[in-house]
Amino acid sequence: MPRKARNMPVRVDEVSNPATLQEALLFLKRYPEAVPWAGGTLLMTDSAAWPEGRGTAILDVHRIPELSSIHRTERYIEVGAAYSLSSILALPGSSILDPLTQAIGTIGNAAVRNLATLGGNIAARGRFMTSFPALSCLDASVELRDSAGVRWHGIHKLVGPGNQPSFPRGTLLTRVRLPVAKWDSIAIKSIGEKSFPHPDANAFCACARYDKGAISDIRIATAGRVLVRDRELELTLAGKHLPLTRRELVTFATELAALAYALSASRNLADRLEAYVTAFLARSPEYIS
C-alpha cells in the first residue's frame, strides 16, 4: 500500500495500467478523482497530492507511448507529459528551453530527476511546483484530454481563482508545448529558506531581452501556494532604456510585491520578491552587448 508523506497510509481501491490513451480516459471517466502515476516523486513526498478522506484510484501511465514522445519544430518543442526531467536536460541544445532547463536543474538530485516527469511537475493540485514560474514566463501551452475531447490551452488555464492551482478533475495532461526563445538574461531562484515539500516553498523566475540598450521584453513570476505574475506591469518596462531610473525600478518592484502580498498574505514572500526583482532589474545593464 502506498504511503503519504509523514507515514500516512493511503487506501488504494482501484489501479489501472492502460496501454493507450483511450483506455486511460475511460478509467478517468469512471474515476475522475484518480491520481495519475508516472514518476511518483510528488506523490511520495507531498501528502497534499493525494485525495483526502477516501480511497484512491491510481492511473499508472507508464505504458502509454504518446506520453513519452517528443516533437521539434523551429518554433517550439512538444514534450509528452511523462517525459522525465533528466531527459529534457539531456536534449541536444536544451539551453534553447531556458529558463525551464535552469529551473529543472534545481529540482532534487539526478536520481529524482530521472523519475520525475514534466507533467507531474505541472499537474500538482495542491501547489505550484518548481517549473511553473518558468513555464509561465515562456507562455507554454498544455494539451488536456478528457472524455469530451482534446484541447490545447495556455499554461495559465491551470491557474484558478485567487491565482491558486486549478487542474481540472477527470482530465489527463498529455503534452506540453515549449516555445523556443532566446533570452539575454535569466534568473532562477528559490525564495526564502523553505524548500519543497514545505508548503511555504516558492520558486522565482525572471528573464529579459534587450535591444539597442532598451528592454524589449521582460517576464517575472514566482509560484508556490499562488502564482504571482502581472503581464500588464511587465509591459510598462518595454522600451525603457537601461539603466532604469531609480523611480522606474522601485515602482515596478513595489507593485509586484504588493500583488504578491495581496494574493498570499505573506509579508515574507512579498519582501523577498521585491528584493529579487530589484536585484534582477539593477543588473540588467550587464547583459547588454
As a whole number of Å, the end-to-end CA separation of the chain is 57
For the stretch 4-18, pLDDT in tens is: 444 455 677 788 999
55 plus 79 within the same structural domain: no
Helix, strand, coil share of the chain (percent; to 5): 35, 25, 35
Looking at the structure, tell me whether residues 32 and 112 fall in a common domain: no
Residue ending a domain, choose from 60, 82, 105: 60
- What was the pLDDT predicted at 53? 56
pLDDT bin (cut points 50, 70, 90) of residue 239 is: very high
pLDDT for position 58? 87
Q: Among 179, 195, 225, where does a domain finish? A: 179
Of 288, 233, 20, nearest in space to 145 by CA = 20
Q: Do 156 and 90 share a domain, yes or no?
A: yes
Quick: pLDDT tens for 149-165. 999 999 999 999 999 99
**Domains: count for the chain:** 3
Q: Are residues 74 and 170 in the same domain?
A: yes
Pairing relationship of beta strands 172-179 and 56-60 according to DSSP bridges: unpaired
Q: Choose the final residue of a domain: 148, 179, 210.
A: 179
- pLDDT given at position 38: 85
Q: What is the pLDDT of residue 197?
A: 64
pLDDT at 285 over 70: no
Same structural domain for residues 30 and 90? no
Q: Give the model's confidence band at 177: pLDDT under 50 very low, under 70 low, under 90 confident, else very high.
A: very high
Which range of residues forms the domain containing residue 54? 3-60
Examine the pLDDT at 144 and tell me if it is beyond 80: yes
- Between residues 188 and 12, which one has the greater pLDDT? 188
Backbone φ and ψ of 160, nearest 5° = -105, -160
**Average pLDDT for residues 38-64, to the nearest whole number?**
71
153-to-70, 71, 82, 108, 248 alpha-carbon distances in Å: 18, 18, 18, 28, 33
Nearest to 179 by CA among 123, 135, 217: 135
| 157 and 211 share one domain | no
Q: What is the pLDDT of residues 198-237, one digit of tens each?
A: 778 899 999 999 999 999 999 999 999 999 999 999 999 9
Same domain, 198 and 227: yes
Across residues 262-289, what is the average pLDDT? 89
Spatial separation of the C-alpha atoms in residues 183 and 245, rounded to whole Å: 22
